[in-house]
Amino acid sequence: MKKALIAAIVLGTLASPAFANLQMAQKYGCTACHDVGTKKIGPAFKDIAKKYAGDKSAETKLTAKVKKGGSGVWGTMPMPPQAQVNDADLKTLVKWVLATK
């Protein structure tokens, strides 16, 4: 019983950050245009992660792009500025997107 409880706690702790960040993406409306695995209006989060893999400046670039908006990287549909997202949550979201597989 004790081992099962410890395993449940460990697994819950490991799974929570990914789930919490998906919840954060939903909270801020990111999932209206983006999905984890498939293209919607905007690119899939996993495609963004793949595009920026190995780019040491990706977090800074994407944080600015999400905050200010942008266009041209993924097609003609512009991404509107997301200035309502506070900086701490924005950093968490960008890190999560870049880690999406």
Tell me: is residue 30 an annotated ligand-binding position: yes
Q: What percentage of the chain reaches a pLDDT higher than 70?
A: 81
Task: State the Cα–Cα distance between residues 57 and 36, nearest whole angstrom.
Answer: 22
Tell me: is residue 34 an annotated ligand-binding position: yes
* CATH match for 17-70+79-99 among 1.10.760.10, 3.40.50.1100, 1.10.1740.10, 3.90.550.10: 1.10.760.10
DSSP per-residue codes, 6-52:
HHHHHHHHHHHHHHHHHHHHHHTTGGGT--SSS-SSS--HHHHHHHH
pTM: 0.79
pLDDT digits (tens, 9 = 90+) for 27-44: 999 999 999 999 999 999
Tell me the domain boundaries of the chain.
17-70+79-99
Residue 57 has pLDDT above 70, yes or no: yes
Task: State the Cα–Cα distance between residues 15 and 52, nearest whole angstrom.
Answer: 24
pLDDT, position 37: 96
- Cα within 13 Å of Cα(66), Cβ side: 26
Q: Model confidence at 20, in pLDDT bands (50, 70, 90)?
A: confident
More confident call, 97 vs 15: 97
Single-letter amino acid code for the residue at 41 = I
Question: What is the average pLDDT value for the chain, to the nearest integer?
Answer: 86
Tell me: is residue 24 an annotated ligand-binding position: no
Task: State the Cα–Cα distance between residues 61 and 23, nearest whole angstrom.
Answer: 23
